[in-house]
């Protein structure tokens, strides 16, 4: 496995994201996003793993490939007992975080220590736990990352003693959003006091919805760079804006409304992250599957089934044998791709797919982006499950995507 590095991250992101000349406005925005995206972006992944697990229908014979991102879903997929998970990413920070979670699952002596590290992520004892139980289980590159220093000249592992979920590009973005809300007299954390969806709805209507009519909020959200903190590059911003006929503020308002009102707070850890800037207090609150006490032993015992690679999805598929994979999770990465990249990707997915293989991905807009962009010769091999996709979209608790899509291989 080739070593991960900041240089490799930059090269990978340049290949994936740069579609325009640097001297153009579009090219400048792409390069600014690449600069922002090369560090830690997602302390927590924002795709609902319970929806994924239902759509993927994993079995003990399943070999799957997924984008790693923050690693939460990689570990959560282990609860379904697949044979192997290949996790790929372009970003060295996400690779280091995924490897840290896998090493901690293997090394932490108790569920309580594991939960304190990733569930609370704000205790000084976590740094000592890292030194005692985790660091010697990490590869050299990941150890170098976590023991290196961040832009504040503090060792990155200390983030787990300083409210880890307040950090990373997404954590800072949510922090700025809270600051802007407080400037206008609203504290988003108060939604955590709601006991029913009706109370959540009342809070949204009275306190959160009016923010999107504020001139400053509309001005900020109209700038493509304003959503870099959500990991949204310029190309994806356009797809998101199209859902609101160009009015990005109305789209963001609708997505936030669904996050705030679509599911009860007691069932939605994504809402806790957005409005409370962390998980609910104590392991009895809503948590991703890998952090739930009932799954700790299974995740620990299966952690060695996941391999983590510093490659693009297509590059990894190039190395896989024909008909060798049963499941694919693309997150929202296709929103970033050109038609040529999509066709190359789906040609490799089709070559490596077992009969009945399943592909799950998300899009900023509601429709699948594949029709008309990927050749009919490739897509004729796949069955789009429209009704199931619509149902998954409605039940995805992260609520930030326009669509969740499931394709099943006919071969």
Q: What is the pLDDT of residue 226?
A: 67
Q: Which of 13-27, 47-61, 289-303 has the lowest mean pLDDT?
A: 13-27
Per-residue model confidence as pLDDT tens digits over 185-228: 999 999 999 999 999 999 999 999 999 999 988 888 887 766 76
Give 353-374 pLDDT, tens digit per residue: 999 999 999 998 899 999 999 9
Say what the pTM is: 0.90
Tell me what pLDDT residue 348 has.
98
Cα–Cα distance measured from residue 216 to residue 206, given in angstroms and rounded to the nearest whole number: 19
User: How many Å separate Cα 9 from the centre of its chain?
Assistant: 17
73-123, pLDDT tens digit by residue?
A: 999 999 999 999 999 999 999 999 999 999 999 999 999 999 999 999 999
Mean pLDDT of 54-67: 98
Q: How far is CA 358 from CA 62, 65, 89, 364, 391, in A?
A: 11, 11, 20, 20, 16
pLDDT in tens, 332-354: 999 889 999 999 999 999 999 99
Tell me which H or E stretch contains 65: strand 63-67
Query: Where does the pLDDT of residue 231 fall: very low under 50, low under 70, confident under 90, or very high at 90 and above?
Result: low
Convert the pLDDT of each residue in 238-290 to its tens digit: 777 777 777 888 989 999 999 999 999 999 999 999 999 999 988 889 999 99
Grade residue 411 by pLDDT with cuts at 50, 70 and 90. Answer: confident
User: What is the helix (H) or strand (E) element at residue 377, kind and residue range?
Assistant: helix 376-379
The pLDDT value given to residue 277:
96
d(CA 304, CA 100): 13
Mean pLDDT of 20-45: 65
Q: What percent of the chain has pLDDT over 90?
A: 77
List of residues 6+ apart from 142 with CB closer than 8 A: 4, 95, 96, 99, 100, 103
User: Is pLDDT above 70 for 16?
Assistant: no
CA dihedral of residues 135, 137, 139, 144 (deg, nearest 10): 0
pLDDT of residue 3: 45
- Say what percent of the chain tops pLDDT 70: 88
**Is the per-residue pLDDT at 2 higher than 60?**
no
**How large is the C-alpha radius of gyration of the chain?**
20
Helices (H), 212-368: 215-221, 234-242, 248-261, 269-271, 296-302, 313-318, 339-352
For every residue of 178-231, DSSP letters joined together read: HHHHHHTT--GGGGGG--SHHHHHHHIIIIIGGGGGSHHHHHHHTSGGGGGGGT
Helix (H, G, I), strand (E, B) or coil at 56: helix
């Amino acid at each position: 496995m080739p070593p991960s590095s900041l240089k490799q991250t930059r090269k990978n992101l340049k290949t994936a994201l740069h579609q325009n000349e640097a001297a153009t406005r579009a090219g400048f925005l792409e390069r600014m996003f690449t600069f922002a995206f090369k560090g830690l972006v997602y302390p927590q992944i924002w795709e609902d793993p319970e929806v994924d697990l239902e759509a993927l229908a994993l079995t003990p014979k399943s070999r799957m490939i997924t984008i790693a991102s923050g690693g939460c879903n990689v570990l959560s997929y282990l609860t379904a007992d697949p044979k192997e998970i290949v996790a790929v990413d372009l970003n060295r920070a996400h690779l280091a975080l995924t490897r840290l979670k896998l090493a901690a699952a293997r090394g932490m002596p108790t569920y309580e220590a594991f939960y304190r590290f990733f569930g609370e992520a704000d205790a000084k004892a976590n740094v000592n736990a890292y030194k005692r139980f985790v660091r010697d289980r990490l590869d050299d590159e990941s150890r170098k990352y976590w023991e290196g220093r961040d832009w504040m000249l503090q060792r990155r592992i200390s983030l787990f003693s300083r409210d880890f979920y307040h950090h990373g590009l997404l954590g800072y973005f949510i922090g700025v959003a809270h600051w802007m809300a407080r400037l206008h007299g609203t504290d988003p954390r108060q939604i955590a006091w709601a006991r029913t969806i009706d109370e959540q709805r009342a809070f949204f209507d009275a306190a959160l919805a009016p923010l999107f009519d504020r001139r400053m909020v509309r001005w900020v959200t109209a700038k493509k760079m304003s959503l870099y903190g959500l990991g949204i590059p310029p190309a994806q911003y356009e797809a998101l804006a199209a859902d609101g006929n160009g009015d990005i503020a109305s789209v963001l308002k609708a997505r936030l409304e669904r996050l705030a009102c679509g599911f009860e707070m007691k069932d939605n850890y994504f809402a806790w992250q957005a409005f409370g800037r962390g998980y609910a207090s104590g392991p009895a609150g809503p948590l991703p599957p890998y952090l739930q006490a009932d799954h700790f032993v299974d995740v620990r015992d299966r952690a060695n089934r996941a391999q983590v690679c510093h490659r693009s999805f297509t590059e990894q598929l190039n190395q896989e044998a024909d008909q060798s994979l049963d499941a694919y999770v693309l997150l929202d990465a296709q929103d970033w791709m050109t038609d040529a990249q999509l066709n190359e990707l789906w040609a490799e997915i089709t070559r490596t797919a077992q009969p009945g293989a399943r592909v799950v991905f998300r899009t900023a807009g509601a429709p699948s982006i594949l029709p008309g962009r990927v050749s009919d010769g490739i897509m004729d091999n796949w069955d789009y499950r429209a009704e199931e996709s619509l149902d998954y979209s409605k039940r995805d608790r992260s609520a930030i995507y326009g669509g969740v899509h499931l394709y099943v291989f006919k071969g």
